[in-house]
Chain A
Amino acid sequence: MKLSRRTLLSSAAAAAAMTMPRFAFAQAETIKVGVLHSLSGTMAISETTLKDTMLMLIEQQNAKGGLLGKQLEAVVVDPASDWPLFAEKARELLTVSNVDVMFGCWTSVSRKSVLPVIEELNGLLFYPVQYEGEESSKNVFYTGAAPNQQAIPAVDYYLEELGVQKFALLGTDYVYPRTTNNILEAYLISKGIPKEDIFVNYTPFGHSDWSKIVGDVVALGADGKKVGVISTINGDANIGFYKELAAAGVTADTLPVVAFSVGEEELSGLDTTNLAGHLAAWNYFMSADTPENAAFIAAWKAFIKDDKRVTNDPMEAHYIGFNMWVNAVTEAGTTEVDMVREKMWGQKFPNLTGGMAEMLPNHHLTKPVLIGEIRADGQFDIISQTEPVAGDAWTDFLPESAVLDANWKDLQCGMYNTETKTCVQLTSNY
C-alpha cells in the first residue's frame, strides 16, 4: 500500500506539473523547438534517429551563437507511435510549451493526426519523410520527397534503363504505399504497360513470412517479360523480405527490387552480401561524395558517440529543413509563424549531395533524385543522380489530382482547382 500512497502523491504533483509550465517557462529567454517523434512503440525504430538528429542540429546552432541572439531549446515529447497522442502532444507543444516550430512525424497517419491541430493553432511543422503527396498545408513544410521526386523517377529508371516490362508493386498496407501504388499504376498504364502486367500485394506491418509472396513474384516471369519489383514495404518487415529474396536466389540481374523505404538504417539490420545490386531511390545516400556530407557524417558520429551509425535521407531532410528555418527566422527577425512562412518561400540551402534545395511556394522542396545499388557493406553505389526536381504536391497522374495545384504565395491556397479556378479548401484533407 505504501507504493500506492506514494504514487497518489506524485499524481497530484503530476497534475500540477502539467499546468505549471505556462508560468515556469514564461521567463526563459529561449526559442523553443518542438521535437515530435515517437521514442517508443513501433515507429521508434525510425523516429528515434530523427530526434537525435534534431538535438544535434540544435546543439550545433547553439554552438554558433543560437538564433536572434537567443539560445535554442529542444522540447522533446514522446507520442509513442500512438496516432491520437500525436494530436494531443502537438497541442501541448503549441499551447503549453509554446514552441515556435515543430519538427516531427514519420507516418502519414501521424501527420494527418497533427494537421487539424496545427492548422487551428497556426503552428509550423517540418515533415522530413518521403510521402504520398496529395496534400499541401499552410502550416507544414514537406522536406521529404513527393511521389514525383522518388517514385516516378525510379519507375522511369526501370522502364528506360532496365527495360522492365512487368511490375510487382509490393507494399505494407497503409496510406503511403496505397496512394503511391495508385499513382504508379496510373503512370505505368499511361506508359503503355497493360493492367494485367501490374501485380499488387499488401502485407501487414512487421510481416515476416515472405516465402509465398517472393514465389509469386518470381512466377510472374513465366510469360517471358522482364519483371521488376517496386517495394514500398515499411520498416522492419523489409528484413524478412530481403532475407527471403536472398534465399530464393533472386538476383538484381534477373529480378531487380527498387525500394522507397529502405535506406542505410534498415540495411544495418541485415547482411547485404546476397542483396548487392538491388536498388533504392532516395534524395540522399550516405555514400554521396561531397564535403558537406563528409562533415555531416563526422558530426553525427561524434554526436551519437558511435562510429557505426549511419545517416539517411530523412536526416538530410531535417538538416535542410532546420537550416532553412534558421535562415528564414534570421531574415524575418522573428519566429512569428506567418512572417517565417513568407520568408521560407524561395529559401535556398545546399543539399548534402550537392546542388541547392529550394523551398517552393507549394511548401515542397526541389531535390535531386538519386538511385543507388545496394553494396555488400550495406551502403549504396549512386548510379543515377538527376537534376533537382521540383516537388509536386498534387500528382499529375490521377485524374482528380491532376487539376489541383498548390501555391501559398500567389494563390494563397493549398488545394486550388485549375479548371474551375477556385480554391477547394484552405484547410487540408485529413
Chain B
Amino acid sequence: MGDGAGPRSDGKSKSFFAQNPSALIFIAFLAAFTLIVTLLSEAYGVGFLSTSFVKTLGKTLCLCLVALAMDLIWGYAGILSLGHMAFFALGGYMIGMWLMYARTEEIVVQALAQGGLPATPEEVSQGIATQIFGVVGSSDLPAIWAFAHSLPLQLLLALAVPGVLALVFGWLAFRSRVTGVYLSILTQAMTLALALYLFQNDSGLRGNNGLSGLQNLPGLGDASQDLVSVWFLWASALALGLGYLALAWVVSGKFGSVIRAIRDDEARVRFLGYAVETYKLFVFTLTAVIAALAGVLYYPQAGIINPAELAPIASIYLAVWVAIGGRGRLYGAVIGAAFVSLLSSLFTSGRLPDIPLGPVALNWVDWWLVILGLAFVAVTLLAPKGIGGLFDRFQHIRPPDRKGAALGPNDGALQEQEARE
C-alpha cells in the first residue's frame, strides 16, 4: 500500500504479490524470524533463547494478528472498536474450556480407576465438575460446558461465539447509525458488560478465577513446555502469515476501496448506492473472528484466562498499538503490537538497572507506564503515521501538498494519505 502502486485500473494485470510487495517481504521476514527463533530455542536449537522468551514471542505473534484485525476495522474502515480484545478473550475462553475439561478428564479417570470399581459416566462427569468448579465452591457442570468434551466442537464455538456476538452487536449498532465516538463508547460498554458478566461466579466460567493451567495440553503426556512453546510459535506464525495474506487480499480489491471510502465519507458512499451497513457489518464480524482465532492461539501460551483480560483498557491498548505502528498499513499494526508489547515485557522484567538522576534513582518498574503514556501522546501529536511512517521516509514518499484542498468534508479523515495511493 505505502509503496505507491499504480492506479487501481491496471491492478488486475499484476499478480497479487506484485501489487502487494509488502506482503511478500512480510512473509519472508516472518518465516526467517520463525526459523531463527526455532534454531535458537531450547527445544530444537542451541538454547540461546529461554522457553519463557519463546512463549513471549509466540504470544506477541498472536497480538500482532489481533492488531491486524484492529487495523482493518479502524485503519481501513474507520470504526474505532474498543471491543476487539473481548472477542480475542472469548476465543481464549472457548478453547480454554476444552483444555481444562480434557486435562481434568484425564486426571479424574485415572483417579477413579484406582477406586476398585470401573467408573460410571455420571461419576466421571461429577468428578470433572468437582475438580473444575470446586475452586469456586460449586460442583455442577454448567450447561455452557456441554460441548467442552470435544475439541472440534469447541474450536468451532471459539470462532462462532465471538462471530455471532459481533454480528448481532454490529447489526444493532450499525442499523441505528451509531458512528464515530459513540460507537467506540458503545463497544467499550459491551466489553465492560461482558467482563462484569464473566466476573460473576454464576457465569459458569469460574468467575474471577478464570480458566487456568491451559499450557498443559491434554493427550500429549509429558511433552515439555520447551517443545510446546515452539509448536505454538509455529502455529502463531502460520496464523499471522495467513491472516496477513488474507487481509492484504481483502484490502487490495474493490472491497478495500469501498471500506476506505466509507471511512472517508460514509454518506457519499451510501448515496452512491453501496449498502454501507452490510460492508461495515462484514468487516466487524470478520475482524472479530480473526481476533478470536488469535485468542485461541494466545491463551494456551499464556496459561490462564480470566475476566480481567476483557477489561476495556485492554482494547484501548490494542488501538494504541495500531496507532503507534501506523494505521492504514497492515505491517504498521504488526510493528506496533510487537514493539509495545515486547517493550512492556522488558520494562516489567525488573532486570533493567535503575537510572540515577541526582538524588533519586529512576526506577523502570515505577516509571515505565509514565514513559509509555507520554509516548502515546508524542506519537499522536508528532507522528500521526506511527512507526510505519518511517518506511515512507526511507522510500521518499511524501504526501501530496494539498493544503486547502480537502477531499471530503470530514477533516478527521485520512484523505491526504489516500490521495497518493
Contact = CB atoms under 8 A, between A and B. Distances in A.
B358 interface: no
A421 to B, nearest CB: 9
Contact of A116 (B130, B196, B201, B303): B303
Nearest to B200: A173
B157 to A, nearest CB: 22
A17 B352 contact: yes
A372 B370 CA distance: 40
Interface in B51-90: 51-53, 55-56
A110 to B, nearest CB: 9
A339 interface: no
B33 to A, nearest CB: 11
B209 A175 contact: yes
Contacts of A7: 339, 343, 375
Contacts of A82: 308
B211 to A, nearest CB: 9
Interface string B200-212: 1100001111101
A22 interface: yes
A103 B216 CA distance: 24
Contacts of A17: 346, 351-352
A95 B47 CA distance: 12
Given A14-B346, A420-B114, A422-B115, A78 B365 contact: yes
B7 interface: no
Interface stretch (B252-260, B262-270, B284-292, B386-394): B386-394
Contacts of B110: 425
Contacts of A77: 348-350
Interface stretch (A56-64, A84-92, A263-271, A276-284): A84-92
B50 A22 contact: yes
Given A79-B348, A113-B303, A173-B199, A1 B390 contact: yes
A96 B52 contact: yes
A402 to B, nearest CB: 12
A175 B350 CA distance: 29
Contacts of A179: 135-137
Given A4-B383, A77-B350, A429-B135, A173 B49 contact: no
Given A7-B339, A134-B134, A173-B200, A88 B390 contact: no
B315 to A, nearest CB: 15
A430 B206 CA distance: 11
A3 B343 CA distance: 14
A401 B134 CA distance: 9
Contact of B303 (A11, A21, A117): A117
B26 to A, nearest CB: 17
A120 B217 CA distance: 13
Given A19-B50, A179-B136, A204 B199 contact: yes
Contact of A21 (B207, B225, B351, B387): B351
Interface residues of A, number: 63
A19 B216 CA distance: 24
Contact of B50 (A96, A116, A401): A96
Nearest to B104: A429
Contacts of A84: 299, 302-305, 309
Nearest to B309: A84
Interface string B5-24: 00000000000000000000
A222 interface: no
A136 to B, nearest CB: 14
B342 A3 contact: no
Nearest to B114: A422
Contacts of B50: 19, 22, 92, 95-96
Contacts of B209: 108-109, 112, 174-175
Contacts of B351: 17, 21, 75, 97
Contacts of B130: 400
Contact of B365 (A4, A40, A134, A174): A40
Contacts of A175: 135-136, 206-209
Interface string B133-144: 011110100000
A83 B196 contact: no
A89 B348 contact: yes
A116 B348 contact: no
Nearest first, the 10 closest Cβ-Cβ pairs linking A and B are A182-B137, A174-B208, A84-B302, A91-B52, A14-B346, A77-B350, A422-B114, A87-B303, A113-B304, A430-B213
Given A83-B210, A88-B55, A109-B306, 9 more contacts: A1-B383, A3-B379, A11-B339, A17-B352, A79-B348, A95-B51, A420-B115, A422-B111, A422-B114
15 contacts: A3-B379, A7-B339, A7-B343, A81-B308, A88-B303, A92-B53, A95-B51, A97-B351, A109-B208, A112-B304, A120-B225, A181-B137, A400-B130, A425-B107, A425-B110
Interface of B: 48-53, 55-56, 107, 110-111, 114-116, 130-131, 134-137, 139, 196, 199-201, 206-210, 212-213, 215-216, 225, 299, 302-306, 308-309, 339, 342-343, 345-346, 348-352, 365-366, 369, 375, 378-379, 382-383, 386-387, 389-390, 393
